[in-house]
Amino acid sequence: MKFSDQILKIREDYHLTQEDLANSLNVTRQAVSKWERDLSYPDVETIKEIAKKYNVSLNVLLGLVETNKSDENKPLAYKSFSTAIFVILTIIIIILSIAYVASGGPIKEYDVLMGLAFIIVGFFAFIFNIDAIFSKSVRISYNDYGLYINPIYNKIIFVPYHEIVDIRSRNASSRNYHWYTFGRITIETKDETYHLRGVAQVHEIRGKLIELKVKNTMLT
């Protein structure tokens, strides 16, 4: 359910007019009307106040609970090659383990293969994930109003487009994989800078975010 639908539902549940809701949040009736028509979006503090006053979670209010059911919040983060490599090597270990148990062959041969497989998995896991551990890697999704930034170990942060100072992108390499170009997107706000790595179609995504930012700024 979109934010505009959530506002309508709150008014229906609490039997409020647009004026009543506006007064409770110290905003104008016109602002509430724009929210319900998908023409604008409240600031972060107002969103928190709505959630608190009308007993609705931020996830529900922002529509995040429906991310897997619709395309309303489009994911930016794509699984990187490191994940695929890790999965493949894990499958190899499982196959070797089954073969070892089933064949009852010489222990030393399988010990060497198993040991080598574990070393390879550990190496790739370290190389491809060390950057994510020590840098500010995030998951980000977006809709027409702003970005939902989910830093590791932190709660989801909503950033309206008008608070974004800069959106930059960079290729991870010069190679194109079919129609995808993988790279990094940096989202800079007034207070924070977030880095998203392993993004497919990185320049197309950046262009879409800039387009939405310009559109949102014109509406507010």
Residue 134: the pLDDT is 45
pTM of the entire structure?
Answer: 0.41
Does residue 75 fall inside a structural domain?
Answer: no
Q: Rounded to whole angstroms, what are the CA distances from 181 to 8, 178, 185, 197?
A: 40, 8, 12, 12
153 shares a domain with 207: yes
How much is the pLDDT for 18?
92
Q: At what angle do helices 44-53 and 18-25 cross, to 10 degrees?
A: 110
Residues 153 and 214 in one domain: yes
In a domain, 91, yes or no: yes
Cα 40 to Cα 144: distance, rounded to the nearest angstrom: 9
Last residue of a domain, one of 66, 91, 119: 66
Tell whether 127 and 145 lie within a shared domain.
Answer: no
Q: Do 197 and 173 have their domain in common?
A: yes
Quote the CA–CA distance of 137 and 73 in Å, as a whole number. 19
Q: Which structural domain, as residue segments, surrounds residue 60?
A: 3-66
156 with 194, same domain: the answer is: yes
pLDDT of residue 209: 81
Find out whether 63 and 3 touch, Cβ atoms under 8 Å: yes
Same domain, 46 and 103: no
- For the chain, the first-to-last Cα distance in angstroms comes to 22
Q: Angle at which helices 81-103 and 107-134 pack, to 10 degrees?
A: 160
pLDDT of residue 68: 38
What count of other Cβ atoms lies within 10 Å of the Cβ of residue 134? 8
Whether 148 and 179 share a structural domain: yes
pLDDT along the chain (220 residues), means of 10: 85 89 92 88 85 82 52 47 63 69 58 65 59 52 75 68 83 50 79 76 78 68
Domain count, the chain: 3
Q: Tell me which residue of 108, 120, 113, 121 sits closest to 97, measured CA to CA.
A: 113
Both 160 and 213 in one domain: the answer is yes
How confident is the model at residue 133, as a pLDDT? 47
List the CATH number of the domain containing 196.
2.30.29.30
Q: Which amino acid is at 25?
A: L
Q: CATH number of the domain at 46, please.
A: 1.10.260.40
Structure confidence at residue 159 (pLDDT): 81
